[in-house]
Amino acid sequence: MKKLALLGATGSIGVSTLDIVAAYPDRYEVVCLSAGNNLRRLKEQIHRFRPKLVSVISEEAARDLRRELGTKGPEVCCGVEGLIACASHHEVDMVVTAVVGAAGLVPTMAAIEAGKDIALANKETLVAAGPLVMAAAARKGVCLYPVDSEHSAIFQSLQGHRRQDVRRLILTASGGPFRDRPQTDLTRVTLADALAHPNWNMGRKITIDSATMMNKGLEVIEARWLFDLPADRIAVHIHPQSIVHSMVEYVDGAVMAQLGIPDMKTPIAYALSYPERLLLDQPPLDLCALKNLSFFEPDLQKFPCLDLAYQVLNCGGTAPAALNAANEVVVEAFLQQQIGFLDIAATLRTVLDGHDCAPLEQIDDALRADLWGRQEARRILAKTR
> What pLDDT was estimated at residue 184?
86
d(Cα 83, Cα 6) in Å, to the nearest integer?
A: 10
Start-end of CATH 3.40.50.720 domains in the chain: 2-146
How far is 337 from 375, CA to CA, in rounded Å? Answer: 19
Query: 294 vs 83, 84, 146, 261, CA distance in Å?
Result: 42, 43, 25, 15
Cα separation, 146 vs 19, whole angstroms: 18
pLDDT given at position 237: 97
Reading the chain (385 residues) residue by residue, the pLDDT tens digits are: 999 999 999 999 999 999 999 999 999 999 999 998 899 999 999 999 999 999 999 999 999 899 988 888 899 999 999 999 999 999 999 999 999 888 899 999 999 999 999 999 999 999 999 999 999 999 999 999 999 999 999 999 999 999 999 999 999 999 888 888 888 888 888 888 888 877 766 778 889 999 999 999 999 999 999 999 999 999 999 999 999 999 999 999 999 999 999 999 999 999 999 999 999 999 999 999 988 999 999 999 999 999 999 999 999 999 999 999 999 999 999 999 999 999 999 999 999 999 999 999 999 999 999 999 999 999 999 987 6
- Numbered ranges of CATH 1.10.1740.10 in the chain: 316-385
Top CATH class of 2-146 equals: alpha beta
Give the per-residue pLDDT at 182: 86
Find all residues with CB under 8 Å of 335, minimum gap 6, and list them.
Answer: 191, 204, 205, 208
d(Cα 86, Cα 4) in Å, to the nearest integer?
Answer: 9
CA 263, CA 194: separation in Å to the nearest integer? 20
The DSSP code for 115 is T
Q: How far apart are the first and last CA of the chain?
A: 54
pTM, whole model, 2 decimals? 0.94
Instruction: Indicate the length of the chain as a whole number.
Output: 385
CATH number of 316-385: 3.40.50.300, 1.10.287.1080, 1.10.1740.10, 1.10.10.10? Answer: 1.10.1740.10
Radius of gyration of the chain from its Cα atoms, rounded to whole angstroms: 20
* 244-250/255-259 β-pairing: antiparallel
Dist CA 311 CA 292 (whole Å):
33
Residue 200 is predicted with a pLDDT of: 66
Which pLDDT value is given to residue 385?
66
**What is the SS3 assignment for 377?**
helix
Question: What would the DSSP string read from start to end of 244-300?
Answer: EEEEEEETTS-EEEEE--S-THHHHHHHHHTTS------PPP-GGG------B---T
